[in-house]
Amino acid sequence: MNTESTPIEAVHTAVEQTTLNGESVLRVVKKDKIMEFDENTYAKLSGSTFHNGTIEVKMLSRLLPDAPDFARGFIGIAFRINQEDTKFESFYVRPTNGRVDDPVRKNRGVQYFSYPKYTFDYFRNLAITDFEGPADIGLDEWISLKAVINGAKGEFYLNDSKEPALVVENMKHGADAKGAVGFFVDIGTEAFFKDWKITAID
């Protein structure tokens, strides 16, 4: 799948094909739910059905001019999205946390969440740290993401690293969930995506 041929459905986002540094890319920003975290805000690949396999994409984030102080350049993927856009799994990164000196923020470079219940706020309130971790990333640079999904397990790799940035053994919607793939964006972020490839194995 590439940016030119895949129909895109904007879900609580504004989506457009644009040019960045001479390349054709997909631009995605939140349109609704502007100040709500971990919501169903993504550009969905219409007609895609994904259960197990790999999701690969290159993504770049910038902070919008009106981004609040707590914006982190949130950018990532949603997958196994149900038809009603009411359930999905997600992995995203926080580029502004990638190279900070604060050890707490630094350990929040990447994040898994499961919509609607299991948001990052839910995990933090229960002091569950299994679903986030560090990553050497920054704003305004292309970040390669490869998600390897098998049953209830998700492995998420950044920038062609042989070691995953995060492994989730028990994704919350279970091993049998399936649905569409989307490109996720959150508060205060201008997101760009290119060169995606979805490889389903079942």
62-114 pLDDT, tens per residue?
999 999 999 999 999 999 999 999 999 999 999 999 999 999 999 999 999 99
Given 3.30.160.270, 3.30.365.10, 2.60.120.560, 2.60.40.10, which CATH number is that of 8-200? Answer: 2.60.120.560
User: Can you give the pTM of this predicted structure?
Assistant: 0.96
- In what helix (H) or strand (E) does residue 106 lie, and over which residues does it extend? helix 103-106
Residue 85 is classified by DSSP as S
Residue-range domain boundaries for the chain: 8-200
Contacts of 56 (CB under 8 A, 6+ apart): 144, 145, 146, 147, 195, 196, 197, 198, 199
Cα–Cα distances (Å) from 117 to 39, 42, 67, 102, 194, in that order, read 10, 17, 25, 28, 29
Amino acid residing at 136: D
Q: pLDDT tens-digit profile of 44-58? A: 999 889 999 999 999
